[in-house]
Amino acid sequence: MSSPDTPEPLADDQVASIRDNLDEVAARTATAAEASGRTSADVQVMLATKTQPAPKIRVALEHGFTLIGENKVQELVAKADDLDDLEHEAHLIGPLQKNKVNHTLRHAHCIQSVDNLELATKINNRLEVLDQTLDIFVQVNTSREDSKSGIAPDEAEALIAELRDHTRMRLRGLMTIGLPGRTPEEIRPSYSDLRELREKLIGSGAMPAEAKELSMGMSNDFELAIAEGATMVRVGSSVFGARDYT
């Protein structure tokens, strides 16, 4: 169990604080879902666990949350063993380099950051070899600003059309990341744009009707994202506190 890099056990008040925060996020999610004519069952809460040590994540999984998202393949791999005994699903929500596909497929239940054909083809080919299938989201850059990740909205249709013969991958929907440091109202258009894009792509038949999920919204704006139709919100700091990047 213990290894040189096993983190210190958590203090009781840290555990209590994570549990309280989880309860609050769940309550706010339910309220926002109901306000948009849905129920809490329609909106999944993903815990964004970047930089968080495994013991903190374990508290959340033991508290009944089952969905985590990691940004870096390295962290996904490093924490996998420590979380192995607790039922959960881990998604990759950060950029994926082609040379890390194999590692990722060993531990991720879903890749939310598919944003180019070359990467998609690499993933699909590897899945063929492994005789596996995988859930994915196409990440779209709806923030109208330069950003390295996410395909431009007007290129999403062509990419999604190409994915049709990538039969090892099951497209669940679209994902976007709001730019940091913006007010919720400034971020809102990037969420409504993602919803409108989904409607357009499903309406035209470019995207299968089952691919209706929208992964969007973070600690500062998840209620707004739910109001815009999010089916999955990704919260980190409001559960675990500020991240320690040291």
Ligand X SMILES: *Cc1c(COP(=O)(O)O)cnc(C)c1O
Query: What are the residues binding ligand X (CB under 6 A)?
Result: 48, 50, 71, 93, 177, 218-220, 234-238
What tokens appear for 172 in the block?
């669940």
Nearer to ligand X, 36 or 220 (CB): 220
Smallest separation (angstroms) from ligand X to the CB of 131? 30
Smallest separation (angstroms) from ligand X to the CB of 3? 26
Half-sphere exposure of 51 (CA within 13 A, CB side): 10
d(CA 210, CA 172): 7
Nearer to ligand X, 165 or 185 (CB): 185
Amino acid type, 215:
S
d(CA 95, CA 97): 7
Nearer to ligand X, 27 or 130 (CB): 27
Nearer to ligand X, 48 or 197 (CB): 48
Whether 160 contacts 201, CB under 8 Å: yes
| CB-based closest residue to ligand X | 236
Smallest separation (angstroms) from ligand X to the CB of 119? 16
What is the chain's Cα-based Rg? 18
Smallest separation (angstroms) from ligand X to the CB of 56? 13
Nearer to ligand X, 146 or 167 (CB): 146
Smallest separation (angstroms) from ligand X to the CB of 50? 5
CA nearest neighbour of 215 among 150, 161, 157, 165: 150
Give the Å distances, CA to CA, from 224 to 111, 146, 245.
Answer: 24, 23, 27
Give the Å distances, CA to CA, from 64 to 47, 53, 177, 223.
Answer: 12, 18, 25, 21
Smallest separation (angstroms) from ligand X to the CB of 90? 13
d(CA 179, CA 168): 31
Nearer to ligand X, 3 or 246 (CB): 246
d(CA 118, CA 5): 36
Nearer to ligand X, 76 or 218 (CB): 218
Smallest separation (angstroms) from ligand X to the CB of 99? 21
Phi and psi of 137, rounded to 5°? -120, 150
